[in-house]
Amino acid sequence: KQEVTQIPAALSVPEGENLVLNCSFTDSAIYNLQWFRQDPGKGLTSLLLIQSSQREQTSGRLNASLDKSSGRSTLYIAASQPGDSATYLCAGENTSGTYKYIFGTGTRLKVLA
Amino acid sequence: GAGVSQSPSNKVTEKGKDVELRCDPISGHTALYWYRQSLGQGLEFLIYFQGNSAPDKSGLPSDRFSAERTGGSVSTLTIQRTQQEDSAVYLCASSSGSETQYFGPGTRLLVL
């Protein structure tokens, strides 16, 4: 059974720092991978989608990469801002076309002004 | 157009009662998903609808849970004879097949 671990579980950093969030899958056969952001009391917002043929995606200050050989993904946030404070979730799809994603428990990020 | 909407936003019920949760997906999205997020837990897949195909119900935790999607649009998740362990946030998402899922704000269910 696929399990997803996110490290660290919580992170507090001063504004301006670059930071890395980690995600690992027990089954490295990941087809698609997404990173989401969840604000308190809100639903999830998709940040980046790495499709099966890709290894990396970038959007603004965010960069996500996926190492399929190890089943690990990282989300890099450059020049963090207080508005980045949220919970970040990674999710992987094991089987092509099912769109059934297995989610990690998230990293709670707080960026201090 | 508008994003995914869910109702009610909050629901408090007594143990043993039935509840219905509603999801309005983004217009035109063929795929619809239900997830459950319990306190301190990751999202747990419940059920997936894709077009007119039979739904994937593999994530439903018990036969007290059921869902339907009428006319390929609105979906209702029904929990019968609710138990305290059913307390969670129930999230709905939809997608157009581009694989990016768009989530609603969720329904917070509390079973007393």
Length of chain B as a residue count: 112
Contacts of B106 in chain A (CB under 8 A): 42-43
Q: pLDDT at position B20, please?
A: 98
Residue B39 — pLDDT band, cuts 50, 70, 90? confident
What mean pLDDT do residues A82-97 have? 88
Chain mean pLDDT for chain B: 92
> d(Cα B44, Cα B34) in Å, to the nearest integer?
9
Hey, are the CB atoms on A49 and B50 less than 8 Å from each other? no
Q: pLDDT at position B66, please?
A: 96
What mean pLDDT do residues A2-15 have? 92
What mean pLDDT do residues B30-59 have? 89
Q: pLDDT at position B81, please?
A: 97
Q: pLDDT at position B70, please?
A: 84
Is residue A109 a contact partner of residue A11, using CB atoms and an 8 Å limit? yes
The residue type of B49 is F
Cα angle for residues A88, A44, B5 (degrees, 5° grid) = 170
Contacts of B62 (CB under 8 A, 6+ apart): none
Is residue B6 a contact partner of residue B37, using CB atoms and an 8 Å limit? no
Hey, are the CB atoms on B48 and A99 less than 8 Å from each other? yes
Q: pLDDT at position A100, please?
A: 77
Is residue A103 a contact partner of residue A40, using CB atoms and an 8 Å limit? no
How far does A29 lie from chain B, in Å, by closest CA?
A: 17
Contacts of B21 (CB under 8 A, 6+ apart): B6, B7, B8, B11, B76, B77, B78, B79, B90, B92, B107, B109
What mean pLDDT do residues A27-31 have? 81
**pLDDT for B1 beyond 70:** no
**pLDDT for B77 beyond 70:** yes
Cα of A23 vs its chain's centroid, Å = 7
